[in-house]
Every structure is written in structure tokens, then in C-alpha cells.
Amino acid sequence: MNPSSSTHINITLYRGWLVVIASTGMGLVLGILYAWSVIKGGIPDSWGWSNADKALPFSIMTISFSIIMIPAGKLQDKFGPRPVVMLGGILAALGCIICGLGGSSIAAYIAGFGIVTGAGVGFGYSALTPAAIKWFPAERTGLVAGIVVAGFGLAPVILAPLASWFLNIFEKVSSTGIIEKGVPETMISLGIFILIVMGSLTWFISNPPAEFHLQPRGVITVKSISNEFDWKRMMFTAQFWLLFFMYFSGASAGLVFMSVASDLGKKGLGEWAFITVVILALGNTFGRIVAGIVSDKIGRQITLFFEFICQGFIIWLLYRITGNGAAGGTTLILIIVFIIGMNYGANLTLFPAACKDYFGIKNFGLNYGWLFMAFGAAGLVMPWINGLIKDIAGKPDHSYIIMISMLIVSAAIAILSRVIGPPSDR
């Protein structure tokens, strides 16, 4: 490298790891999306919500979350992560409070949890991963991205039992004499909790000096980056659309079970059904970290291939166990849920890492925002379709078949993507 175009900056890894830890901590509360199955499980029958209705706030949140990632990514690329994360925390908390103030109104939950909290999560999520990976060399991209997004995956371990506790302590007797969970009060309490955590950790988030590379001895040198795509050029590459379809498929398989995880364990665990959500979260977290480490060694596409094959098999196994009204043992169901979470979590590490690998770091926030639309589309479409199929047929068998088919196709696309190779920057 030409010394005249390089600047050596003495900076320790401590600062970068501080950003990683703070980002992971904020992910623990911004992952409120993954606690929805516990919250919706407490919705009283007196509210008159159908299965499709109960899936709607979750579905709207995922698309809101995804749409906001585009402008939020652009804002964090331009102004840095801290103001974007701060705005995200305020909106995420406000949306939960709107739900609580709306009582039993589905419109309040769509507007509050679906749109406002979804937007808040999108602002927060858009800034945390880019801020963290910029402090580390390329060979640690998967590891660092995996740790940061592990916070989101681990969120239900904190939020699921917390939500369950709030639902129980705020339960009350209705006018008809039926004991009902305190869903509105729970949403307000969760909003306050999100605001406190986000407000405490936001100040630790920052970008490193512009365009640098971490050398082995902890010295950062400024360098020019040749493989940089803006979002318009990125969207004219075959790799973007291959990644988009794979992301849609992988996210669909996970999000459907994220939204109904508590229901899977309800028969065997009763009031302790939230444990299913916790197990799913542990798998989700494990998958995010392990996928990052493995993909740094063997490549993103090969890791994706094995993840899609494994996820397709495990959903087929769940279909065989629970199909036609059958039910597997609680232990087996929990193992299956863990593996579903593990494979789903891998996506949230592999796709941002692949986006950075293929399209560069300069416009990463905005570029990944466009790619993340695949996640939003999956969250909008598949949980709602799953609920609708269940309302019509009484069981979600056709949803399983659709998801397994998409995963098989995606496994083939992962190999095709590897053969095609990185997009040309010329």
C-alpha cells in the first residue's frame, strides 16, 4: 500500500468490542418481535380475534421493520449509527405503549406493534450490525455479525418469561367472570423496559474512523476499497436476486414458527409453553454465532446450502410428527424447535455478511436495507398464510409443504450462487 495514501491510527480492539457488546444488549430488547407468540397467547377469547388476526400485528411488524431498513440504512450511512439507534429505541417503546392504551382494538396493535414498534426495530437494527463490523477486519465479518444479531435471537430468553410474568401479574376477572391475562398492561410495561435499556446503551454506539483495515497488531490503516456498489448497481446483479430469494425462503421457514412457537409446546407444557419460545431463541442465537464462525471458514454459500437442507428436513419431520392431529413428545418437539431456530438464526448472520462481501461496506446500511426486504416480505406473507390455512383447513399442513419446497429450491440456488461467484465491480 502506498504510504502517502495510508494513515496509521493507534486504536485498541477494546473500543470495537464495546460497540459489539452494547449492540448485542440492545438487540435483546429490539427483538420484541420474537416474543409475539407469548403475547398473542394471552389475548382473551372475548376480544374475538381469529388466528389470522393474531398473526397480523406480527406480519405487519416484519414488513414495517423491513421497509424502514432502507431509509434507516441511508441515514446511518450518512449521519452515523447513534442518532438512528436512539430514534429506534423511542419508536419501539412508543409502539408497545400505543398497543396498551388501545385495549382490545386490533387497529391499535397493527398501528402500535405492527407499524410504530416495527419502524423502531428497523431503525435500531439497521445501525447496529454496520457499526460493529466496521471495527474489525474482513476475516471476522461473520463472527462479529453473528454476535451482534445473536442479541436479537436471544431476546425471547429475556422477553418471553418477562412477558409471561407481566401477563400473569396483570391478569383480571372480566365482566363475565372469566380470568383474562393483562395484555394491555403487559404491552405498556414492555415499552417502558425497552426505553430504559435503549436509552442506557445508545451512547456506546459509534463508527470507527472512516475506511480502515485492521492489521494483525491492532493498527488501523486507511485504504481504498475497490468492490463498492451503490444500491442501484447492486440491484442489477444476479447475485442480489439470488440472495433475495434465498433470504425470503429461509426467513419464511423461521418466522412462521417464531409466530406460533408457544402453540407448539402448549399441549405438553401448559402455562409453561413460553419455554418453547425460549428454546427457539437459544437455537436462534446458537445458529447466528456458529453460522458466522463456520461461514468465515468454508464460505457463505456452502453454509447456506447445508442450512437449507437441514431446515427442510426438520420441517418435514415436524410435519410427520404433528400431521393429521398427531403429537410428538415434548422433548422431541423442543429439539425440533431448537433446530428450526438454529437454522433460522443462521440467515440473520449469513445474509448481512454476504451483502458486505459482495457489495462492500461503504453503502452497507442502505444495501442491506434493500436485501432485508426479503425478510419483510416473508414476514408479511407466510405467517398470515399459515394462520389463514389453519382457519380454513383446521391445520397448517399446506404451509409446511410450501416452505419445504422453497427450501429445496434455495439449496440449489446456493450452489448456483457459488458457481456464479462475486459480482463484477466494473
pLDDT 10s digits, 175-201? 677 788 889 999 999 999 999 999 999
> Does residue 9 register a pLDDT over 50?
no
346 located within any domain: yes
Q: At what angle do helices 238-269 and 364-371 cross, to 10 degrees?
A: 60
Q: Print the domain residue range for 42.
A: 10-420
How far is it, in rounded angstroms, from Cα 153 to Cα 162?
16
Instruction: Select from 55, 193, 68 the least CA-distant residue to 118.
Output: 68
Could you give the angle at the alpha carbon of 197 between the alpha carbons of 116 and 129, nearest 5°?
Answer: 75
Looking at the whole model, is its pTM more than 0.75? Answer: no
Could you tell me if residue 2 is inside a domain?
no
Query: Rounded CA gap, 7 and 190, in Å?
Result: 46
Residue 1's pLDDT band (boundaries 50, 70, 90)?
very low
pLDDT score, position 14: 72
Chain-centre distance of CA 264, in angstroms?
20
| CATH code of the domain covering residue 88 | 1.20.1250.20
**For the chain, what is the domain count?**
1
Burial code (b: 16+ CB inside 10 Å, e: under 16) for 289-300 equals: bbbbebbbeebb
End-to-end CA, the chain: 22
Q: Give domain status of residue 112, yes or no.
A: yes
195-238 residue pLDDT tens:
999 999 988 888 876 555 554 444 444 443 447 888 889 999 99
Nearest alpha-carbon partner for 249 in 319, 176, 344:
344
Residue 4 lies in a domain: no
Which of residues 410 and 319 earns the better pLDDT score? 410
What does the pLDDT look like over 334-351, one tens digit per residue? 888 888 889 988 998 899
5 exposed, middle or buried (CB, 10 Å; 0-12, 13-18, 19+)? exposed
- Please determine, for residue 120, whether its predicted confidence score (pLDDT) is greater than 50: yes
Task: Extract the C-alpha cell encoding 258.
Answer: 417464531
Residue of 160, 155, 162 whose CA lies nearest to 31: 155
